[in-house]
Amino acid sequence: MNPTTESKLSSEKSLKAMKSFSEKYAKNTNTYFCVDPSVTAVVIEGLAKHKDELGAPLCPCRHYEDKEAEV
């Protein structure tokens, strides 16, 4: 993996944390993941990336004018 690719990916720690968070959230709210596992994977990866970059798992599905102000 080259440095450019690495910087675009979340850390393994954040990825595991967001996967666990997402599974618990779905269970506690009686909701479920998308039937297409690739969609779920992209959302969890986005949450983890935001957690690494901003310190908070902002939803990757939303547009933020200023992500840092949202944190």
Residues identified as active-site: 61
- 27 token code pair: 């269970």
C-alpha distances (whole Å) from 59 to each of 3, 32, 45, 46 are 25, 16, 10, 7
